[in-house]
Amino acid sequence: MKITDVKSYLIKMDWDDRPGKDKPRSSIEREFIFVQIDTDEGITGWGEITNYPGSVGNRAIQKYVMELKDFLIGWDPTKIEEIWTRTFRLFTYTGTRGATTAAI
């Protein structure tokens, strides 16, 4: 089995029943990122990645996922630990403060 496609979806929804909703800086929307992994055997897997509460963080994470698409295609999706380790190593040199700080 091989990964053939990776898609990400940024979903926004109203969040009327949120904790601290009466505070002036609380968000009125919530964002969720869903990731779809398709395989050559017709199996589709789903995952969710959400950075609470920041919308900027969620958009950045979604971009990271899509940047990884070409890297992930062709891998066996059952090799989770190997994929995780190799993906982690791609970002090793951005330092402990992350890619955003490196970009600044």
CA distance 65 to 49: 10
**Using the 8-state DSSP alphabet, how is residue 75 labeled?**
S
Q: What is the pLDDT of residue 50?
A: 79
Per-residue b or e along 44-63, where b marks 16 or more CB atoms closer than 10 Å to that residue's CB: eeeeeebbeeeeeebebbbe
CA distance 79 to 70: 17
pLDDT digits (tens, 9 = 90+) for 73-92: 999 999 999 998 888 887 77
Q: What is the pLDDT of residue 96?
A: 59
Q: What is the pLDDT of residue 51?
A: 75
User: Rounded mean pLDDT of the chain?
Assistant: 82
Q: For domain 3-97, which architecture applies?
A: 2-Layer Sandwich (3.30)
> 12 to each of 60, 64, 77, 85, 98, how far by Cα in Å?
15, 18, 28, 30, 25
- Predicted TM-score (pTM) of the model is 0.74
To which residue do tokens 């609380």 refer?
A: 26
